[in-house]
Amino acid sequence: MVFIRWILGRIILLLDFLTSPKALVRDPQQQALLDQQTAGMALYQFQACPFCVKVRRAIKRHGLRIETRDAKNDPLFREELLTQGGQLKVPCLKLVERDGKTSWLYESSDIVRFLEQLAGPEEQDTPAARPSES
């Protein structure tokens, strides 16, 4: 069973590598503001976990700079996730507010939804978004 999980993990990582999303490019001032907002965030994850891959892809797609912490192979991050977050479950997004208050967001769909709200609407290359030609 361990071998099968290892093989599936490698397949997930390969597919993630081959189909990695392109990062959204923003105005430097907008990106700097967003970087300030994400400075207190860290994603606790396992490298080959499909739900963690989903969150990492959302981070990249939205051009966010969030530290990733390997809770599987780093005992310090594992212990921090367990003692401060309350459970050894990934993915988990640690949010440290400016006032020092810390909260922990679990569930990949909730994390992705939070990141999408934080990043704002994506600019899409649609006919309505293109300048008209005269």
pLDDT of residue 120: 82
Q: Is residue 35 part of a domain?
A: yes
**Is residue 12 domain-resident?**
no
Residue 34: inside a domain, yes or no? yes
pLDDT tier at 20 (50, 70, 90 boundaries)? Answer: confident
Mean pLDDT of 91-107: 93
What average pLDDT does the chain have?
87
For 23-89, the three-class secondary structure string (H helix, E strand, C coil) is CCCCCHHHHHHHHHHHCCEEEEECCCCHHHHHHHHHHHHCCCCCEEEECCCCHHHHHHHHHHHCCCC
101, part of any domain: yes
Q: Is the model's pLDDT at 61 over the cut of 70?
A: yes
pLDDT recorded at residue 127: 38
The CA distance from 17 to 19, in Å, is 6
Average pLDDT over residues 74-93: 95
Name the DSSP class of 130: S
- Residue 9 domain flag: no
CA distance 15 to 13: 6
pLDDT greater at residue 121 or residue 36: 36
How many Cβ atoms are within 10 Å of 47's Cβ, its own excluded?
Answer: 16
How many CB atoms neighbour CB 53 within 10 A? 20
- 64 close to 40: Cβ distance less than 8 angstroms: no
**Residue 102: strand pairing partners:** 96
Whether 15 maps to a domain, the answer reads no
Query: What CATH number does the domain containing 63 carry?
Result: 3.40.30.10
Domain encompassing residue 106: 26-119
Q: Is the residue at 126 inside a domain?
A: no
Quote the percentage of the chain above a pLDDT of 70: 90
Query: What's the number of domains the chain is made of?
Result: 1
Judge whether 5 lies within some domain: no
pLDDT of residue 97: 87
Q: Provide the pLDDT for residue 10.
A: 86
Average pLDDT over residues 104-124: 87
